[in-house]
Structure 1
Amino acid sequence: MGSNLIGMRRIWMQPSLVKKAITGSAIVAGVMFVQPDGAEAAFGDQELKKGMNNQDVKELQDVLKAKGYFTYHTSTGYYGPITEDAVGKFQQAVGLNVTGVATTDTLKALGAKSVSKSSQQTSSTLQVGSRGQQVTNLQSALKDKGYYSYNVDGIYGQITKKAVQDFQRDKGLSVTGKADAATINALSKSSANSSSKPSSSSSDISIGMRGSAVTDLQSKLKSKGYYNYKVDGIFGKITQKAVQNFQKSAGLSQTGVADSKTLAALSEKETAKPEAAVTGLSIGSRGSSVTSLQQMLKDRGYYNDSIDGIFGNNTQKAVKEFQSIVGLPVTGIADDKTIDTLKSRSNTQTETVLKVGSKGNAVTELQNKLKKAGTFHVEATGYFGPVTEKAVKDFQKAKKLQVTGTATKETMDALDGSTDKVVITPSTGEDQGDLLKKGSTGSLVKELQSKLKAIGLYSGPLDGDFGNGTDAAVRAFQSRNKLTVDGVVGPSTWEKLKQSTGYEGTGNGNTGSDNGTSNSSFSVMDLIADASVYIGVPYVWGGNTPTQGFDCSGFLVYVFKKQGISLPRTMAQMWNVTTPVSSPSVGDIVYFTTYKPGASHGGIYIGNNKFIHAGSSTGVTISDMNSSYWGPRYLGAKRAH
């Protein structure tokens, strides 16, 4: 496999053909998968040696690994002592001069075929899918100019394309996202011009600059809540935007250049209105601004988690809930409008938020309205538990509202104006009120079992029957979370379960849409095509978006969600809720054990023993399940659709 694949002539692919190649591999069994590569010098054309770090080194390591000489657990692309030793052992085995340097003779012996210079020059344009030293040089140049602020990895993905587009736009070039000759020349000219200017020629700090002055600027912006990224001393687009936001709030000219006035204003002590800095807080934001946001949400009953200054899923959920209640666009981003509305509502003015755990006359009134609407089938109790939540969700689905299970302002308005009765068949266990306990049956019990299975406490069938196995699992969960151990699932247990699993669960034993729609429109080919778009996006621990980067489970959650399928956030939880299959089919999730026992890594099977995944050293890429690294770590395949 190794020598044949490496020896193949690299194939140039337009971005629009990447999806076709991937889906083509998925459709036709046994067809060689064509992974997009760029127009850089091909593997085998140049000598590789210690200290180099690029895609050619990674390919060298892959070939040496396939032949049993490179024993490190993953190919890193860095030519260090381990690679040097592996090359030396190979050279000795085949009778070459033992130098540890991968000479052209060594590469030829490994199976690489040199490509003539004339064929290399048939296309000098770099674009999505390109890899190698030329891409590394491009990313470094863009990073120096402040357009690219991610890992320089030699992989031309969507983030590199966006950086190229920004540069082209600023320089008045055709905005294609492809690094053609004109773009490369403009980058080189820009580099020459910037290097001819002494960094100390002006006290202004602007895009493209780097060093301690930029580090200090970013730190000050971060302390005031305008900059929520890594302080790296590089003045890029993100830093420029942060400067502009600060200038706007300080009444300065919004140039994005940190001039003397901006720096002076930044150095002043916080005014009485530091909260203006919380503009645009979202997943991944950290700091005092997030702490303030969480406190306001908690004071008003929307946030029940710890106040830690980290904008995570629970904070986003609270923001969405507040936005829905007060009639704002439900984005989950704490923008100026959201913050201003939060602050304008004192504790005495706050609307009553009816959700799991609420009780009183307002809940009784809600239940009676739901009963009239046809989704609530028991006597009103004034107690908001899982049955009431399901009734709210059923009503929201029927009225095509956002399905939250919380009685939002939009939901209450729809209930008040509803004249048509929603036909929802009651579960047979709903006659026991707004609690689930031994003897209950129906879709809510099945959802309960699904959640318990996701966290490894329940191993029985998802049959909707609250029997001894479900009772034992509930009690174990309650004990673990210091709840009253009675086997009864009331609001406290239900809400804690939702927090623990990180997804809404389903009533059919499989993962399904989190927006109330069925997954009948699921398309395996669309899933694979969607996944292919993100090849080259870097790996980021905890990352779950293309702009932020992906970790392995974040990538799966994101791609499957585009097909209407909601997955739990960790690989272990996915393993617990997906359906086992004897052998993988295209679109199935393949699981591996890596840094800890059990399912700790996974990807999407695309056929021909290949899978697409977010690797810690590669970002989103395609790998061979039978490789010397992944083969021994394979756990099995399961189906999520």
Structure 2
Amino acid sequence: MRTLTRLAAALTVAIGIVLVAPAAPASAFPGAFFHTQRQGNRGVDTQAVQHLLTARGHATGADGVFGSGTATSVRAFQTARGLTSDGIVGPQTWGALIVTVRQGDNGAAVRAVQVLLNKKRRLSLAVDGDFGSGTHAAVVAFQNHAGITADGIVGPTTWQNLVWHYAYPSFANMCDQNPDGNGTANWGTGSAIGSLEAAAASFTGNGQVPLGDVSFEHGGDIPGHSTHETGLDVDVWPIRTDSAQCTAARITWESAAYDRAATRLLAQRIRATGRVESIYFNDPTLISEGLTTSYPNHDNHLHINYL
């Protein structure tokens, strides 16, 4: 039930985890690649694309939402560079967009570096476009983390590793639930995390969204799951009638405390704020409405497959 894109991503990570166990420090990301961005994506990778488009002379609002305006800017950039003008930021377009930056530089390309570092290394750099000593130190730290040359210069290799690295969510509208004992296995692709955050922010009046496992920081095998290896699979718990899903026992769709209306709203928000392949959850009413899909052992959680 995976698309070719998801299979390719899984294969790429699988190559990497032969060399790097999930619990071990990152020594390098041999399978690092640029996550393709297209209309419907959102999050920090899209925001980086928007900053880079501006840096390349195609002014684009950096809201992290890949809408029609961003697609238009991408096509204009592609046309100017002699690339296929499809509005999709794949490897060739990423390669043409990135700008090598270093200490002393200023501008939108530096802002792209800063937003990526903040979301993927859990930092709080000022996104001011000024490549000063703080940004330099953060770049060097990331390069050491990734096992690449730690020279503080953001060139093609650093860009690729930075875009590939998974992002960590804000918990402003979510709570961290850990039913499988996998610690902070909340890392996902920039787009998956951005979409999840948007869904949680738009889900109001029913308590926070309880987040289960996503992936480890660099992907790879994760106990209790046969998927969740490529940062694209996200588990959330169903909503309770008392809105206590972050503090009370986890329920199934058959439980007396199950709030179908609120869980339906959550599924609708998830589908409205991201590129979703499927949501596995066994509530027959939500299945009949086309919101979720039946799958074994998914009575007590919604499993989101992001694209």
Give the TM-score of the pair, scaled to structure 2.
Answer: 0.39
For the pair shown, the structure with the greater C-alpha radius of gyration is: 1
Give the TM-score of the pair, scaled to structure 1.
Answer: 0.21
Q: Which has the higher helix share?
A: 1
